[in-house]
Structure 1
Amino acid sequence: MGSEWSLVFFTSFVDLGCGLFVALAINEWFSINPQVRWRGAIAVLVALALGGLSSVLHLGHPERIFGAFSHPTSGIFIESSMIAITGICVLAYIFALKRNASHQNLKLITLIGAIPAVILAFAVGDSYVMASRPAWDTLVLPFAYLGSAAVLGCFAYRILVVSPSEHLVTQLKLLTQGLLVIQAVLMVAYLVALSNAPYSDVSRSATQVLMGGFSALFWGGIVIIGLLIPFGLTTLKKESVAPVMSATLGLVCVFIGAAAFRVLMFNLGSTVWQFF
């Protein structure tokens, strides 16, 4: 893995920030829980800042990142631009809250900010789609990153909601369960893509993932911690565990699961590095 650990945290934190900001936009448009606004906006900024810092730490010469801005088609340019635009929208949202802006203006700001947030969540996965690396040559990757952002955003939003109604709790549980199922389907789709990838090699095969050297990472980190435990937490009754506690544990688990998928992806794609 080496320096790729910084990219694991970069994409994970960015997905968290993007997912939460989209959740704030939905919260604003449907006037669900006004109390979540301030804490949610600050949390988004923190997540994006941690993601940006992780990205910079990946570079051997961070000062040279400005050179990427002269290449608008590069992945770094797209990611940096979307982070900047999303961050500006979050700051505009905070400024509007500070000035007690009208609800209509708040809705407009979050709608505008949600667009680059969705693009960013997709782009951080799309950057790794490369024909030169068979294990990465599939559009399942960016959709998996997008799904990860949605799940992370749901759990983070649930933590920040103040005194949610029973109806809202039920709706959030159903939404989260649906997103976890979609994420599970995407994991299966990725295994299918691995099985059908060109230039097959046992080191990056589905068999290696399911029963080989990466099986513990896949079954333990992705399936059990990243999918099954969070899904189970959404089925608990309110009397058995505090909603905030279950949401917090769920967020930790899905974050671990997201990181585990990225570690798996990097290991599967690294088998060609020895030629460079």
Structure 2
Amino acid sequence: MELQWPLILFTTFMAWCAGTFATQCVLAFQGKAAKSQMACWITSAVLLVIGGIAVFLHLQHWTRIFNGFGHITSGITQEFIIIVVLAIIAVVYLALLRRNDNQVPKWIAVLGIVASILLVLISGHSYQMEAVPAWNTFLWPIALLGEACILGPATVAVVMALTGESDDEVKAPGGFAFIGSIVNAVCSIAAAVSVTFASNSLSQVGAWYDLTHPTQSIAAVNINPFTGDAAMIMWIGVIVIGILVPIVACFMGTKKGNWKMWAAVALIAAVIGVVCLRVVFYISGVHLFMFY
């Protein structure tokens, strides 16, 4: 399947936004990071807006997005609902933040965490379909959640370091980022491995004649992300840059304490890895019958 860059950016920024807001909520629940709460909120809001703009670019005309709101089971409808819910919670969070001197009640922090998790899972679930075996597994939404677990804490660690939070305060999101980098590694590899089993569901056609493309041969596609058409992207972009570099960077952050640098390295590498994994996702998106 050809790469759908607007949707790649949409899912990336949704995971990034949700991870950032959820990390901010966890710290607020613990009574930490009061100085950087507003900066973290602005960051997550900007990420949400960028992701929202990206999804509109997928359509030739933006008003056609409303055609997808015909039923509650529509992926677009579900994504729209959870985005609106998260936006409402974020606005309430902001109001309480301004009223209570950069602190919020624990109940709104819990709501923010739950809404962030649901946003990631629903965004990933929208792509599950029986006609595309490589996508028809819940491991892909889980992989998106794993990506949020590294993107969010690393972003918050950078923001906290830039806003002058103490090293002890920055250790909290830094620790979350280290754990998140490992979670991301496990979830991403699991999703990629699931694609290798999905290849057994594809029908290979020996001979085929299409009146509309009489001279076009059938493309032999190897969807295995480790050995197929996406192998280089998987090994270099996902595993080396997107998985190993964030783990090493977060480990160095826990040892050296310079989270401004190490969290930034982990974040940049993680973003590259997330985009590469979404590229692998689309390259593996071959329909049940290869000629469809």
TM-score between the two structures when normalised by the length of structure 2: 0.84
Distance 1:84 1:147 in 2: 23
Alpha-carbon distance, 1:84 to partner: 1.3
- Count of residue correspondences: 273
State the secondary structure of the residue aligned to 2:221: helix
For 2:127, what is the secondary structure of its paired residue?
A: coil
Q: Which runs of no fewer than 5 residues in structure 1 stay unpaired? A: none
Instruction: Confirm or deny: 8 A CA contact 2:153 2:177 kept in the other structure.
Output: yes
Residue in structure 1 matching 2:242, options 186, 201, 226: 226
SS in 1 for 2:201: coil
Deviation >6 Å, runs of 4+: 238-241
Q: Deviations over 1:240-268 (max 9, x none)?
A: 68421221221111011011100110111
C-alpha deviation, 1:196, in angstroms:
2.0
For 2:201, the equivalent position in structure 1 comes to: 199
The equivalences for 1:54-203 within 5 A come to 54-100=54-100, 103=103, 105-161=104-160, 162-197=163-198, 198-200=200-202, 203=221
Q: CA deviation at 1:111?
A: 1.9
1:102–1:3 distance in 2 versus 1, CA, 3 Å: closer
Deviations 1:178-232 (A, max 9, x none): 32222222233224322322424772443xx223432210111101110111111
Residue 38 of structure 1 pairs with residue 54 of structure 2: no
Unaligned runs of 5+ in 2: 205-219
Higher helix share: 1
CA shift, 1:108, in A, is: 2.2
Aligned residues with identical type, % of pairs: 27
Indicate the RMSD between aligned Cα atoms, in angstroms.
Answer: 2.5
Superposed displacement of residue 170, structure 1: 4.7
Relative distance call for 1:264 and 1:237 in structure 2 (3 A) is closer
Q: Which moved more, 1:140-149 or 1:192-201?
A: 192-201
* Equivalent residues of 1:203, 1:271 under 8 A apart: no
- Cα distance, 1:99 vs. partner? 2.6
Partner residue in 1 for 2:217: none
Please tell me the residue identity of whatever aligns with 1:203.
V
TM-score by length of 1: 0.89
**Is 1:5–2:5 an aligned residue pair?**
yes
| CA 159–64 in structure 1, closer or farther in 2 if over 3 Å, else same | same
1:165 Cα deviation from its structure 2 partner: 4.8
Alpha-carbon offset, residue 157 of structure 1: 1.0
Counterpart-to-counterpart distance in 1, 2:40 and 2:256 = 26
CA apart distance, 1:142 = 0.5
Give yes or no for contact 1:173–1:235 (8 Å, CA) kept in 2: no
Q: Secondary structure at the match of 2:80?
A: helix
Following the alignment from structure 1 to structure 2, what is the Cα–Cα distance between the partners of residues 215 and 274? 20
Question: Which residue is 1:29 aligned to?
Answer: 29
Residues in 1 aligned to 2:143 and 2:60: alpha-carbon distance in whole angstroms = 28
Shift of 1:136: 0.9
8 Å contact from structure 1 (residues 148, 183) kept in 2 = yes
Amino acid at match of 1:122: L
Amino acid at match of 2:72: P
Offset at 1:238? 7.8
What pairs with 1:217-256 in structure 2 (closer than 5 Å)? 217-236=233-252, 242-256=258-272
Structure with the greater alpha carbon radius of gyration: 2
Q: Distance in 2 between matches of 1:61 and 1:36?
A: 39
The CA distance in 2 between the partners of 1:69 and 1:101, in whole Å, is 40
CA distance in 2, matches of 1:166, 1:241: 7
